[in-house]
């Protein structure tokens, strides 16, 4: 067989290194451990696999990213993240590798009065990076849908207050494992009300009244979540964003707080 030209390994004379190059929007089956670490939730992740490319290489070998992922089985196990990163470093001959994964995570929630159960989905993101020197970085992000009720509207209105669905995006670094479920609960406790997939009339009454008794601006929401992250013994860095999908405006309200300990 004739030798095929390997264009990626040709030199590049522009002397510009590329911070991250690889593949993204790759969907792959995966399993995530639950809060107690005894069972796994099956889901589908959208992966981005990248490495650092030195200035003297023209390109990277895109197929090798898929080969590495496939080499670790037909289902990606989150606890093998560091092993896969090490494999990427070796297979792509790079000094730095990154894996970003976004996936839906489901929790069964019981309605507050009737106890009716239903599944609610949350969007979760893992961002893991490793260097050949041995450094490792991991960020857990949860996107939590919530209900918020406007304090100003409640204060000035005779008959009620406008409320809306919003979402909180909370990203954290930690020195010991912080579970997805715990971070979701931390966020939901700061909202006017959490969301449910099944509500009967007694539940709807309870949720509406709970929100009315706990009005929050986006400013209140990010501060409350940030304060809980600051107090959390395992969290070392956090970034909290809140966005209200306003019910009486054609724009959204937004706030962000970032901090570290």
Q: What is the pLDDT of residues 32-46, one digit of tens each?
A: 988 876 678 999 999
Residues 216 and 247 in one domain: yes
For residues 132 and 51, is the Cβ–Cβ distance under 8 A? no
How far is it, in rounded angstroms, from Cα 177 to Cα 179? 6
Q: How many domains does the chain have?
A: 2
User: What is the predicted pLDDT for the residue at 4?
Assistant: 72
Residues 151 and 180 in one domain: yes
For residue 232, count CB atoms less than 10 angstroms from its CB and return exposed for 0-12, middle for 13-18, buried for 19 or more: middle
User: What is the predicted pLDDT for the residue at 35?
Assistant: 84
Does residue 113 fall inside a structural domain? no
Does residue 61 fall inside a structural domain? yes
Residues 123 and 20 in one domain: yes
Q: What is the pLDDT of residues 150-193, one digit of tens each?
A: 999 999 999 999 999 999 999 999 999 999 999 999 999 999 99
- CATH number of the domain at 42, please: 3.10.270.10
Residues 170 and 128 in one domain: no
Residues 21 and 95 in one domain: yes
| Residue 213 pLDDT greater than 80, yes or no | yes
Residues 215 and 186 in one domain: yes
Does residue 102 fall inside a structural domain? yes
Residues 156 and 246 in one domain: yes
Helix, strand counts (H, E) of the chain: 6, 10
Q: pLDDT-based confidence at 261, cuts 50/70/90?
A: confident
Asked whether the CA dihedral 41, 43, 46, 47 is positive or negative, the reply is positive
For residue 204, count CB atoms less than 10 angstroms from its CB and return exposed for 0-12, middle for 13-18, buried for 19 or more: middle
User: What is the predicted pLDDT for the residue at 7?
Assistant: 74
For residues 15 and 93, is the Cβ–Cβ distance under 8 A? no
User: What is the predicted pLDDT for the residue at 2?
Assistant: 67
Does residue 166 fall inside a structural domain? yes
Full DSSP string of 102-159: EEEEEEEEE-TTT--EEEEEEEEEEEEEEETTS-EEEEEEEEEEEEEE-HHHHHH-SS
**End-of-domain residue from the set 99, 134, 169:** 134
Residues 129 and 159 in one domain: no
pTM of the full structure:
0.93
User: What is the predicted pLDDT for the residue at 31?
Assistant: 95
Residues 167 and 250 in one domain: yes
Sort strands 18-33 and 76-77 into parallel, antiparallel or unpaired.
parallel
For residues 84 and 68, is the Cβ–Cβ distance under 8 A? yes
Does residue 99 fall inside a structural domain? yes
Residues 159 and 126 in one domain: no
Q: What is the pLDDT of residues 4-28, one digit of tens each?
A: 777 777 777 888 999 999 999 999 9
Does residue 93 fall inside a structural domain? yes
Q: What is the pLDDT of residues 106-131, one digit of tens each?
A: 999 999 999 999 999 999 999 999 99
Does residue 55 fall inside a structural domain? yes
How far is it, in rounded angstroms, from Cα 174 to Cα 85? 19
Does residue 190 fall inside a structural domain? yes
For residues 256 and 240, is the Cβ–Cβ distance under 8 A? yes
Q: What is the mean pLDDT of the chain?
A: 94
For residues 111 and 198, is the Cβ–Cβ distance under 8 A? yes
% of the chain at pLDDT higher than 70: 98
How far is it, in rounded angstroms, from Cα 109 to Cα 197? 8
User: What is the predicted pLDDT for the residue at 1?
Assistant: 63
Asked whether the CA dihedral 248, 249, 250, 251 is positive or negative, the reply is negative
For residues 122 and 143, is the Cβ–Cβ distance under 8 A? yes
Residues 24 and 47 in one domain: yes
Residue 238: which domain range? 142-261
Residues 149 and 261 in one domain: yes
């Amino acid at each position: 067989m004739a030798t095929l030209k390997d264009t990626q390994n040709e030199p590049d004379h522009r002397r510009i290194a590329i911070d991250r190059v690889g593949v993204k929007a790759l969907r792959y089956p995966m399993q995530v451990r639950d809060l107690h670490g005894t069972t796994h939730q099956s889901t589908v992740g959208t992966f981005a696999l990248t490495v650092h490319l030195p200035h003297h290489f023209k390109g990277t070998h895109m197929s090798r990213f898929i080969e590495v992922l496939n080499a670790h089985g037909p289902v990606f196990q989150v606890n093998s993240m560091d092993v896969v990163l090490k494999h990427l470093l070796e297979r792509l001959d790079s000094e730095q590798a990154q894996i970003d994964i976004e996936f839906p995570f489901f929790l069964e929630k019981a309605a507050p009065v009737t106890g009716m159960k239903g599944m609610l989905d949350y969007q979760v993101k893992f961002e893991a990076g490793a260097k050949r020197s041995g450094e490792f970085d991991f960020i857990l992000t949860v996107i939590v849908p919530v209900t918020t009720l406007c304090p100003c509207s409640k204060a000035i209105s005779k008959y009620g207050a406008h409320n809306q669905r919003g979402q909180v995006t909370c990203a954290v670094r930690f020195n010991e494992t912080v579970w997805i479920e715990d971070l979701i609960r931390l966020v939901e406790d700061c909202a006017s009300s959490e969301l449910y997939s099944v509500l009967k009339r007694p539940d709807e009454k309870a949720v509406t009244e709970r929100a009315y008794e706990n009005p929050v601006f986006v400013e209140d929401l990010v501060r409350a979540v940030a304060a809980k992250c600051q107090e959390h013994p395992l969290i070392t860095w956090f970034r909290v964003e809140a966005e209200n999908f306003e019910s009486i405006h054609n724009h959204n309200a937004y706030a962000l707080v970032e901090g570290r300990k």
